[in-house]
Structure 1
Amino acid sequence: MADVIADHGHNVTLFQPFHNAMKNTEGLVKNKNIEIINYYPDHFEELETLETQTFPMFWDSHLMNNPILQAFMMPRALAGEFERTAVQLLKDQKTLTNLKNKNFDVMIVETFEITGFYIADLFGIPFIPIMSAARFPCFNDLFGQPSGLGYYPFIDSKLAPKAGFFDRLNDVYRTFFMNIMMDRMAQLQNNFIEKAIGRPVPYWKDLIKQSPIYITNSNPYLDFAVPTTAAIVHVGGITMDLKKMKHVGKLPGEYEPILSERDSTVLISFGSVIRSFQMPDNFKNGLIEMFESLPNVTFIWKYEKEDVEFQKRLPENVNLKKWVPQPALLSDKRVKVFVTHGGLGSTMEVAYSGKPALMVPIFGDQPQNAYMLERHGGAIAYDKFDLKNGEKLSKTIKEMVTNPKYEENSKALLRILSNQPIDPKLNLMKHLEFAMEFPNLRSQVPAINHVGIIAHYYLDVIAFLVLVTSILLYFVFRILRKLPIRIVSKKAKAE
């Protein structure tokens, strides 16, 4: 985003406070005019001594995806990760003064960690919330988007029109606890921010909804069709450059013989947060069974650890790599299928490459990303717990490699994304510049969003109509019950 804005002629400062020691933004910024300020807290050396968190428990834990446990455990864990650096920053008057003196016109803030909104409030400058995922319901609500119930599926639910009663019940159940989780995570941050500043601060929802727009990483031609408002701006795809993707350059020399060994190659990568080498043994055994049953397919597997003993267990059609040039491999015609965890970055890359994908979501927003891509017909959402089922995995990969419909559907989606009416980068810049010119605009959020749930959904009117209808039906029933008695009585008198 910083690159896109700077490329359009704006002065950009990228301020990066470190909550952990993962410097995963290094080298990403290409525009040399962007000023990068890294904020290292006093305990940064301590953070560097900690082992990089990779969350192996997400591989096979049923509990980590339990909505109730997430609602009450996840917020405190994540807010706790943010607190130490955030509190120090808010008390660091020298750093805050230096930032304020730069006289920014606007501050763009990621919504997952909300300290930036309060810094903008301290500076007295407008801010714009952004979300690196496709959606974050508690923030979408603030900008007028109706409930997503029925518009996109949740884990273990089918989407309409196939959805039944229990699917809808599951949607309500998961939505309820997801909203609790998101609200609690923001509220916990609100609490320690107020304590750090030392005086009452605006309630986080009241503060954030002051922005004229909210920017999300959703692409309307890839994502589910969801009713929305003009205040919610979808810019998914700003990281994609179709010209560069068509001319990614030569692959490293080591890959040419690998890709030439067989007619079909499958790329496997589960991202950077979840590591393949930490996969449970029964999952690995399922993959090995699949490798052995498909000897005519070459597999390139991103496996982040040198493991000689594990390598001995693999057949010759498997190539382990600690790192892979993912965009270059996806652009190669010899790669037929991409097996991915379904992170939004990889989802975008595979969608814009026109390549079929087996989506194996592990946690977070990945299940919805998998369903999102699957509905276009070029991908399959695959349950991570079925990785241990080598036979099912083999059949699925074989079907995707040999059935041309997956490639055809993937190419069709690529054509759509390549010809969407408004370029995502242009959409970002037009709305950003508009919001900077009209920072106090609030008219795009429906007025009904300012009322309670009863008035919003006309529950009082519905209850009134149900009550009146029930009373009328009751009196009609009473009248009809008496009519036969009167008719019989009159007939008896006549006789």
Structure 2
Amino acid sequence: MLIPISMTSKKDLVGSKKVTKIIRLDQEPRSKKMQEEARTEEMIKKKIWKLDADITVFFSMIKNFSLASGYQCEHIFQQTVILDQLRNEKFDLGITESLFICGFPLFDHIGVKTVINADSVLYLDVVKYALGEPASTSFYPGLFSKFIDKMSFVERIKNLFGMAFSWYFSWSRFQGELEAIKPYYNKSLSWDEHINGAAFYLINSNQYLDYASPTLPKTVFIGGMQVNTKKNGKVKLDKEWDDLLSIRKQNVLVSFGSNAFSSDMPDEFKKAFLEVFASMPDTTFIWKYEEENATLADHLPNVKLTTWMPQNDLLADDRLTLFVTHGGLGSSVELAYQGKPAVVIPLMADQPRNALMLARHGGALQLDKFNLDKPEEIRRAIQTVLTDPNYRKNAEKLADILSSQPYQPKEVVLKHCDFAVKFGDLKTLNSEGRLLNVFQFYSIDIALAALSLIFILILVVFVVFRFILRKVFSKSSEQKNKIE
């Protein structure tokens, strides 16, 4: 596993328990300096609580982000000793992510012929474009959309612009990376050629959870591959957590993920949550609070503050009653598989879409983050889900659907990796639609040609009819003159 560090706070993360050989590359100095000057991590952790969740708030960051991505990619290509070692390994398969384009030319550079694109997020609009899949902006919510698949006219316009912005964000980043490695990488493949050259596109989505959308054979849904459930017998809580869940009849887990820290939320938000916890003494609240030895809730015996908890295993336990979450994709998939009702409070990026995706199945309630200073609104949302049995019923039904799907994601991943190693990039799976322009792709040129033909026919009929009428009137006029 090659891990180029792009954020200091994430430098120790691996994401796999079984990988035995890890190569880490320090963050590129220019990129690190830009991040520090822009206070990117501080913005994500602290300012995101009150920023609009719309992705366009990041518009001003595009230029610097593209530059930083270019610096990072160039830095990787400059590690000639490491790259020579990797080249000598003669790998059968390379797996990378199209959130950045750098992995694709890198694999080509070290001689890895077969590549799989495995995205940790939902559908990237730019990948759909590269593969030639229909964008379907009229009914398919984009990655950063705030709407469901039934949209009004205005919502469809916003969804279209949202997809266009997402596409531009990726395009500018890809261009910056490819431009930066020109001195080291002697091929002139475009970013969409790199993406389309992958054997498969593994997407962290699930067809039974996400919105329906037309796909091509290269797109493979693997959402849920990381989730262990009681059904497969791989869930077990330590005594500390097991004892905690046995104290009270109701147990609520509160977590806002690994990027936005609860410890960094505004004081009025913390105060509101504590007020809610205090008003429900018969419920145990497990709150992911990223400050060691915090005393914030010492006066509340029903509150457990923790910097970390076994989230998936807690969600799998029948004694956990409710999950209050930010709607990150990992958490959304876990709670869907474990059949837990939820109050979803999206903060940024794809989280509003994830919240709506869960809510449409009937097991989750969405709460606007701008209500987090209102304890009565938080309490109302929690009590609504806790007291209405339909939320739990619908959540459990969704979990049953996911556990019963014909092909389990983990099996799908392994089989497609084996298939890719054996056959490589099958060109027969490529869609010629990717080579068409917008007019050709949506048959607008045919429609224009048809309209032009109809117009010409109408014009011809009009001219002929006019000519005949003129002849008739001319003849009639001549006869009239002769009679006179």
The TM-score by the shorter chain falls in which range?
0.7 to 0.9
Q: 1:333 aligns with which of 300, 318, 327?
A: 318
- 2: distance between equivalents of 1:227 and 1:263? 44
Of 45, 54, 57 in structure 1, the residue corresponding to residue 47 of structure 2 is: 57
* Aligned counterparts of 1:80 and 1:158: Cα–Cα separation in 2: 31
Q: What's 2:353 paired with?
A: 368
Please state how far the C-alpha of 1:199 moved relative to its aligned partner. 4.8
Q: Which residue of 2 aligns with 1:220?
A: 207
Matched, 1:128 2:116: yes
1:429-456 CA-partner distances (Å, limit 9, x unpaired): 2222222222241222322221111111
Q: Matched residues in 1 for 2:313 and 2:111: separation?
A: 45
Alignment counterpart, residue 86 of structure 1, candidates 64, 67, 73: 73
Question: What is the aligned partner in structure 2 of residue 449 from structure 1?
Answer: 434
Aligned to 1:38: 24
Q: 1:346 to 1:37 in 2, by over 3 A?
A: same
Give the Cα separation in 2 of the matches to 1:158 and 1:83.
33
Distance 1:165 1:145, change over 3 A: same
Identity of aligned residues (%): 32
- Indicate conservation of the 8 Å contact 2:288/2:309, yes or no: yes
- Alpha-carbon distance in structure 2 between the residues aligned to 1:224 and 1:425: 21
The separation in 1 between residues aligned to 2:385 and 2:224, in whole angstroms, is: 25
| Alignment map for 1:158-173 (pairs within 5 Å) | 158-161=147-150, 163-173=151-161
The equivalent of 2:177 in structure 1 is 189
CA spacing shift, 1:186–1:238, aligned 2, 3 Å: same
- Contact conserved, 1:374 with 1:380, CA < 8 A, in 2? yes
Partner in structure 2 of residue 149 of structure 1:
137
- Provide the secondary structure at the position in 1 that maps to 2:240: coil
User: 2:277 touches 2:303 (CA, 8 Å); kept in 1?
Assistant: yes
Match in the other structure for 2:337 = 352
TM-score using structure 1 length: 0.83
After superposing the two structures, state which structure 1 stretch, 372-381 or 146-155, moved more: 146-155
Residue in 2 that maps onto 1:268: 254
Instruction: Please state how far the C-alpha of 1:365 moved relative to its aligned partner.
Output: 1.9
Equivalent position of 1:430 in the other structure: 415
Contact 2:71–2:180 (8 Å) recurs in 1: no
Aligned amino acid, residue 277 of structure 2: F
Structure 2 unaligned regions, length at least 5: 477-484
Q: Please, which of 369, 385, 391 is the counterpart of residue 384 of structure 1?
A: 369
User: After the TM superposition, which of the residue ranges 83-92 and 345-354 deviates more from structure 2?
Assistant: 83-92
Q: Deviation per CA, 1:72-129, whole angstroms, max 9, x where unpaired?
A: 4343343344444432321222111111011112211121222221122212322222
Instruction: Give how far 1:340 is off.
Output: 0.9
| Distance apart, 1:181 and its partner CA | 1.0
Q: Quick one: distance in 2 between partners of 1:272 and 1:130?
A: 21
- Quickly say closer, same or farther: Cα 1:192–1:293, change in 2 above 3 A: same
Counterpart code for 1:259: L
Instruction: Kindly indicate whether residue 400 of structure 2 is the aligned counterpart of residue 415 of structure 1.
Output: yes
CA spacing shift, 1:112–1:66, aligned 2, 3 Å:
closer
Which residue identity does 2:202 align to in structure 1? I
Question: How far is the alpha carbon of 1:26 from its aligned partner?
Answer: 4.8
Matches within 5 A, 1:201-216: 201-216=188-203
TM-score (norm 2): 0.85
Residue type at the aligned position of 1:381: Q
Rounded to whole Å, the distance in 2 between the matches of 1:172 and 1:254 is: 46
Which AA in structure 2 matches 1:291? F
Contact 1:150 1:159 in 2 (8 A): no
Report the AA paired with residue 87 of structure 2: K
Structure 2 Cα separation of the partners of residues 143 and 28 of structure 1: 27
Q: Secondary structure at the match of 2:117?
A: strand
Q: Residue type matched to 1:65 in 2?
A: D
Which residue number in structure 2 is paired with residue 8 of structure 1?
Answer: none
Q: CA deviation at 1:245?
A: 6.9
Check conservation: 1:19, 1:81, Cα contact below 8 A. no
Mark the CA change 1:156 to 1:230 in structure 2 (over 3 Å): closer, same or farther: closer
Shifted more, 317-326 versus 214-223: the winner is: 317-326
- Per-residue deviation at 1:392? 2.1
* Greater Cα shift, 466-475 or 421-430: 466-475
Q: Equivalent residue for 1:11?
A: none
Which residue number corresponds to residue 482 of structure 2? none
Paired residue secondary structure (1:53): helix
| 1:338 positional shift | 0.4
Single out whichever of 395-404 and 233-242 deviates more from structure 2: 233-242
CA displacement at 1:43 relative to structure 2: 5.3
- 1:40, CA displacement in angstroms? 3.5
| CA deviation profile, 1:395-453 (whole Å, cap 9, x unmatched) | 11101111111111111111111111012122112222222222241222322221111
Q: 1:366-415: CA deviations, max 9, x gaps?
A: 22222222221111222211222322221111011111111111111111
SS in 2 for 1:96: helix
Give the Å deviation of 1:140: 2.4
| Counterpart in the other structure of 1:7 | none
